[in-house]
Amino acid sequence: MSSRTKEILLGSLLGDGSLKINPGYKNARFSFRHSVKQKDYFFWKAKELKEISGNSYYWEQKADGFGGDKLRYQSLSLESLTEIYDLTHKDGRFIINKGWLNILTPLSLAIWWLDDGSLIVNSRRGVICTDSFPHEYQKILASYLEDVWKIKTKILPITRVWKGKKREYYRIWIRSSAELEKLMDIILPHIKVASILPKVLFLYHDFKLQQRWISKVSTLTGFSEKIIQKYVMEKRSRWKNFRK
């Protein structure tokens, strides 16, 4: 397996991806799914994973009550995937530890952010939807981000209603524009799908600050300022009342 495929897989396991050894199989398969609204990102990721893909590697899933229609990817069953499964699982369960987190690269972080990260509060704060991870694993993730990448985060609870009952979950929040920009500096060179640019576009009232960010994104991603400006304007139109 190429190092690039491994980097994408490890980042995806923190996001929308999973590894499983299905009954009757010796080796693991990798799978992920995204909304059809993110089809450009979906097919870019699938193309990057062609070395572990068969001829029929994706299908469409109709809405199941959790958003709209989805696209689902599934790899071949491979020994190389079982090696990653053994690294990231124990007794059949996904685990998070610094042993394998330390293998992550900037590309891995980019995949994690594109899968589960969101810009909030004028698009100058961030949150990573780590709801499915135990609190102890989130502490490990927050510590990893600060120790390895010098990005300070907060783990804060959210309350959601599930089957009529309120439940508390935790997410990793980036509550400082300066800390969020550190993350963007790391991942921007790996953003290669234009339609996913809103995930990394800060909004400013100040024209000069906005242009500075557009220029930076253009320099680091390789997309033209014209394309980036287009997505900034679309985002502004949806965030009509964004605050200073």
Residue 98 within a domain = no
**Domain span at 50:** 3-93
Do residues 229 and 110 both lie within one domain?
Answer: yes
pLDDT of residue 75: 96
For residues 76 and 113, membership in a common domain is answered with no
Judgement on whether residues 129 and 170 belong to the same structural domain of the protein: yes
Same domain, 124 and 233: yes
Which position has the token pair 């960010």? 213
Distance CA 157, CA 173 (A): 10
Backbone angles phi, psi at 16, to 5 degrees: -100, 5
Q: From CA 125, how far away is CA 29, in angstroms rounded?
A: 35
Out of 93, 125, 147, pick the residue that ends a domain.
93
Say whether both 130 and 35 belong to one domain: no
Domain total in the chain: 2
Same domain as 232, residue 122:
yes
Q: Is residue 133 included in any domain, yes or no?
A: yes
- Per this entry, what is the length of the chain? 244
The last residue of one of the domains, among 61, 93, 125, is 93
Q: Is residue 23 part of a domain?
A: yes
* pLDDT (0 to 100) of residue 167: 84
Examine the domain organization and report whether 120 and 209 are in the same domain: yes
Is 100 within a domain?
A: no
Looking at the fold, whether 87 and 122 belong to one and the same domain comes out as: no
Q: How far apart are CA 36 and CA 34, in angstroms?
A: 6
For residues 43 and 113, state if they share a domain. Answer: no
- Antiparallel, parallel or unpaired: β 70-74 and 29-35: antiparallel
Q: Is 232 found in the same domain as 126?
A: yes
- CATH number of the domain where residue 85 is located: 3.10.28.10
Is there a domain that residue 29 lies in?
A: yes
pLDDT along the chain (244 residues), means of 10: 96 96 93 92 96 92 74 96 96 95 98 95 86 94 97 91 81 94 97 95 92 97 97 85 53
Please report whether residue 142 resides in a domain: yes
Asked, for residue 185, whether it belongs to a domain, the answer is: yes
> What global pTM score does this model have?
0.92
Please indicate, yes or no, if residue 87 is contained in any of the structural domains: yes
> At what angle are helices 39-48 and 3-14 packed, to 10 degrees?
140
Among 44, 68, 93, the domain-final residue is 93
